[in-house]
Chain A
Amino acid sequence: MRNRAAVFALTGPGLVFLGFSLLAPIALLVASSFRSGDAWTVAPYVSTLSKSVFRIAALRTLRVGLIVTAATAFLSYPTAYYVSKLPARRRAVLMSLALFPLMTTAVVRTFGWFVILSRQGILNRVLEAIGWVDRPVQFLYTEGAIVLGLTHLFFPLMLLSLISAMENIPPDVEEAARSLGARPLRAFARVVFPLSADGLVVGGTLVFTGCITAYTTPAILGGTRVLTLATLLQQRAMTLLDWETATVVAVVLLALATVVNLALRRLRVRGVS
């Protein structure tokens, strides 16, 4: 009895605050996406889906999300494997280096890529120097640039998830596999990978949802022609005063993030011990 009152008093204020500042606005948002004038209707959705601008942005957002998730997984697995096997001191250093970007704002990280990818940037200079191209290539304001920027942005998250998953694998499991004759790569594929799959799922969720809702990187590296749902939302709301489409795009983003989170949560509970 006393406990019940205590719980109320301790969690109540926080819940009220969240209700007011998160639940209410989001509920209003979803509700108003189904309103046109004074009527309840799906017209805003129909109208938004009919705009090719929306369809292109939506497909691009999903595509980029998947590619970046795959890319970060690809790059993170060997890195996490290598780092988790290092002696404590070197491991701490390498981990700090990999996680240090998380302390910086996306503006800074993306600006770095902007400078690297421009026509006079290093990438073009190097390519020209080794003779792979004879005139500067247009890297900026393309989907590829966005993919690159987002891979860099979310790599630390995936790495962190994988490292913590790998740290939980008892070292003797892999040793055992090895002593039974399995070559390192095989030991990795058959033993380490499945046992760290949970980390992959967690990391994947974070990276994918982060990508589809990212604004800064697509804004700086994609420009105004190569839009994702996030930059489309900003454009519709703040530049074109098209609140109806903006609201629908916002709800779509919300739905995507929620669905991915719930689906992957289910996967974790069901799949891995």
Chain B
Amino acid sequence: MRAFRKRVPCVLVVVGLLMMGWGLVLDAQEPPKPSQLVVSTWGFNTELLEENLAKAFEAETGIRVVFDFGDNSPRLVRLIANRDAPVVDVVTFAPNFAAQALSAGVLQPINTVNISNLADIVEWAQDPLGGHYGIGYTVQILKLAYRTDKIAPPVTSWRDFFRPELAGRITIPDLNTTYGPATLFSTAKAWGGSLDNLETGWQKLGELIESGALLTAYRRSSEAISLFEQDEIWLCPIPSFSWPSLAALNLPLAWVRPASDYWEGMVASLNTLSVVKGTPNAYWAEKFIDFWLSVETQTQMALDKVDAPANTKVVLPDDLRMSFGLDEDISTAVFYDPAFVVANLEEWLDRWNEMIAQ
């Protein structure tokens, strides 16, 4: 027993030295793997995210992926709240919120050396925020969804929200969501205003709210989908990622691009993947981002109707491209400048919240 006691420390010391040496060797190649990686993203399609991202990445690297689900705004709030001791490693945001996150200083530049798939990403999505603070991984197109059996003649424009027979049957995104500002801009433009003169937009939205025509302002697309399902609304702006769920309801619905005499255009936005500032797992966070951008993952996500791909090497059947809105000419799409939104958002939100409170 005593001999054992003497031998054990020696053995431990030797093993310890060996492990240190081994560790040094490994360090030169890649940093130690964390036990888990925390990814902050939307709670839509959780099972598919688990399958295509978490399980697949874990199978490849052995690192467990834990999701922090939520909307843009609460997730941004949490990032800012925890900025001194980051809990999250990778985060996805819609453009407005990515810009807010950037100016709040909670993102750090991505080391593109670790992103082997970057060259395959469509060129204008490779560095949308500048400084490599984010990489676009999916394009979302906003079009108008409506019940073809309840509305005639067909919806063609943002002006159609003001049709009297649709009072109480419409919903629009709340201003503090991805497409809130776009709704304001499009309404302004549809009624003769412009980005420099949004007053028209405010007035018209105010009319919708006060007259009671607006049933509610939805905070998340799932709310809008549920409202359609329960026959509470007939017309609503809906982005690409929601359309498959809407189509699955088996209601007579159409998803149209607003086109009319007034220049409105089709709104599009690019969701980005970023690394949270101060995370101790930057290398593996970047590896995860690379994984999400790979042809295999992007194709699977598209086939599962989760997200439209940004990887140019992905090949999709036509009906799938259509359901993502990718059949439309992307050059007609309007990408609103997130910096413009961020600069004015606080003031707009104050005004909006006063208007919408009831």
Chain A bound to chain B:
yes
The interface of chain A, by Cβ under 8 A from chain B, is 51-53, 56-57, 118-120, 136, 138, 140-141, 223-227, 237-241
A136 and B232 alpha carbons, distance in the complex (Å): 9
A57 and B232 alpha carbons, distance in the complex (Å): 25
* Interface pair B176/A225, CB less than 8 Å apart: no
Minimum CB–CB distance from A29 to chain B (whole Å) comes to 16
- Interface stretch, picked from B38-46, B52-60, B73-81, is B73-81
Minimum CB–CB distance from A50 to chain B (whole Å) comes to 10
Minimum CB–CB distance from B180 to chain A (whole Å) comes to 12
Interface residue SS majority, chain B = mixed
* Interface pair B73/A239, CB less than 8 Å apart: yes
Can you list 14 A-B contacts (CB < 8 A)? Answer: A52-B354, A53-B354, A119-B230, A138-B215, A224-B216, A224-B217, A224-B219, A225-B356, A238-B77, A239-B73, A240-B73, A240-B176, A240-B349, A241-B80
- Given A119-B231, A240-B176, A241-B80, CB of A225 within 8 Å of CB of B358: yes
* Interface pair B231/A225, CB less than 8 Å apart: no
Chain A, Cβ-Cβ closest to B350? A51
With a CB–CB cut-off of 8 A, which chain B residues contact A141? 215-216
Which residue of the partner chain, among A51, A138, A227, A239, contacts B74 with CB atoms under 8 Å? A239
* Interface pair B232/A119, CB less than 8 Å apart: yes
With a CB–CB cut-off of 8 A, which chain B residues contact A140? 232
* Interface pair A53/B77, CB less than 8 Å apart: no
In the complex, which of the residues B176, B349, B356, B357 has the most CB atoms of chain A within 10 Å of its own CB atom?
B357
Chain A, Cβ-Cβ closest to B356? A225
Q: Is residue B174 contacting chain A, with contact meaning CB distance below 8 A?
A: yes
Minimum CB–CB distance from B168 to chain A (whole Å) comes to 7
- Given A51-B354, A52-B357, CB of A118 within 8 Å of CB of B230: yes
Minimum CB–CB distance from A243 to chain B (whole Å) comes to 9
A47 and B77 alpha carbons, distance in the complex (Å): 21
* Interface pair A225/B357, CB less than 8 Å apart: yes
Q: Is residue B156 contacting chain A, with contact meaning CB distance below 8 A?
A: no
Interface residue SS majority, chain A = loop
* Interface pair A226/B358, CB less than 8 Å apart: yes
The interface of chain B, by Cβ under 8 A from chain A, is 71, 73-74, 76-78, 80, 168, 174, 176, 215-219, 230-232, 349, 353-354, 356-358
Given A119-B231, A223-B216, output 18 extra A-B contacts at Cβ < 8 Å: A56-B358, A118-B232, A140-B232, A141-B215, A224-B219, A225-B216, A225-B356, A225-B358, A227-B357, A238-B73, A238-B74, A238-B78, A239-B71, A239-B73, A239-B74, A241-B76, A241-B77, A241-B80
In the complex, which of the residues A141, A223, A224 has the most CB atoms of chain B within 10 Å of its own CB atom?
A224
With a CB–CB cut-off of 8 A, which chain A residues contact B354? 51-53
With a CB–CB cut-off of 8 A, which chain B residues contact A56? 357-358
A114 and B320 alpha carbons, distance in the complex (Å): 34
A238 and B81 alpha carbons, distance in the complex (Å): 10
The 5 closest A-B pairs by CB, nearest first: A53-B357, A239-B73, A238-B74, A118-B230, A119-B230
* Interface pair B231/A224, CB less than 8 Å apart: no
A218 and B10 alpha carbons, distance in the complex (Å): 65
A238 and B71 alpha carbons, distance in the complex (Å): 10
With a CB–CB cut-off of 8 A, which chain B residues contact A237? 77
* Interface pair A138/B357, CB less than 8 Å apart: no
With a CB–CB cut-off of 8 A, which chain B residues contact A51? 353-354
Minimum CB–CB distance from A189 to chain B (whole Å) comes to 40
* Interface pair B176/A239, CB less than 8 Å apart: yes
With a CB–CB cut-off of 8 A, which chain A residues contact B349? 240
With a CB–CB cut-off of 8 A, which chain A residues contact B71? 239
With a CB–CB cut-off of 8 A, which chain A residues contact B356? 225
A140 and B80 alpha carbons, distance in the complex (Å): 34
Which residue of the partner chain, among B168, B174, B217, B358, contacts A138 with CB atoms under 8 Å? B168
Minimum CB–CB distance from A110 to chain B (whole Å) comes to 15
Minimum CB–CB distance from A230 to chain B (whole Å) comes to 15
A56 and B357 alpha carbons, distance in the complex (Å): 8
A241 and B358 alpha carbons, distance in the complex (Å): 21
With a CB–CB cut-off of 8 A, which chain A residues contact B218? 224
Minimum CB–CB distance from A175 to chain B (whole Å) comes to 54
With a CB–CB cut-off of 8 A, which chain A residues contact B77? 237-239, 241
